[in-house]
Amino acid sequence: MIIFKGSGVALVTPFTTDGVNYKELDNILEFHLQNSTDAMIACGTTGEAATMTDDEKNSVIEHTVKTINGKIPVIAGTGSNNTKHTIEMSKEAQRLGADALLVITPYYNKTTQKGLIKHFTKIADSVDIPIIIYNVPSRTGLNILPQTLAELKKHPNIVGVKEASGNISQIAEVSRLCVDDNFTIYSGNDDQVVPIMALGGLGVISVTANILPKEVHNMTAAFLEGDVKRSRDLQLKLNPLNKAMFMEVNPIPIKTAMNLMGMNAGPLRLPLTDMEPSNLDALKSKLTEYGLKIKA
């Protein structure tokens, strides 16, 4: 089962000083519906899930599901380094109506490749909705190997991987071993979308799409329609902005950019802090270069 093709946005969570700003979340969701986003990913890294309570995460997932109302898939980030807790959150996300789950590899305590197979299998056994595994070694300190994914894809509920290893050779091997009508790769790096789609991927879970949803959609749609040149040209055009979105740890730049543009994404939660002044100036310059108006 393929959950979506194209551009899935890794949604920010708009905070107030003491909670979630649901009115602004509604505005953000409507912005994406009006600008061709193909899937919503709630409570992932970009959504600052690490500093949200379980109640907040469940509430954001429920609110997103109800607001989207089946128009496009809603994928809920439910992963942690605790298998039991991940199962609890995954079951709740399914109950709340999520179409699929995004589950990160365990971090800090990490595990072996055998442990990864047991971890993800146990989670997949506990739910009846599809799972995308999230591989981001730079954050977790743990890389999921292609052979491990090949074993995991045998489970009918494990249908894809968000690949943010940055290792194109590894991703090519994942494609060789795993990609078919029931399993796909999504780019987890905005600057590698077209290369990964050239290896058999079907799209991206994007940070940049928070501010340029139509452009990221158009890039993926062009590739899927066979216009590789247009897709490549759009990738290369976006890459300087993609780079700017990671000049400090995600989601600091993207949330700052949204606030600068008047989208009211709200404050970051500690340990994340405001951008360094020199980086803020560089971000403002890059937004202006792309024709994005700064209102704040």
Is 134 a catalytic site residue? yes
* CB-CB neighbours of 288 under 10 Å: 12
- Tell me which of 162, 255, 284, 286 is the catalytic residue: 162
Which helix (H) or strand (E) segment holds residue 3: the answer is none
Please, are residues 283 and 292 in contact by the beta-carbon 8 Å criterion? Answer: no
Compute the distance between CA of residue 45 and CA of residue 265 in angstroms, rounded to an integer. 15
- Tell me which of 57, 134, 255, 286 is the catalytic residue: 134
Question: Rounded to whole angstroms, what are the CA distances from 34 to 28, 78, 240?
Answer: 10, 27, 25
Compute the distance between CA of residue 169 and CA of residue 80 in angstroms, rounded to an integer. 27
Residue type, 1: M
CA 128 to chain centre: 21
Is 66 a catalytic site residue? no
Paired residues of 74 in beta bridges:
40
Please, are residues 45 and 57 in contact by the beta-carbon 8 Å criterion? Answer: no
Return the active site residues.
134, 162
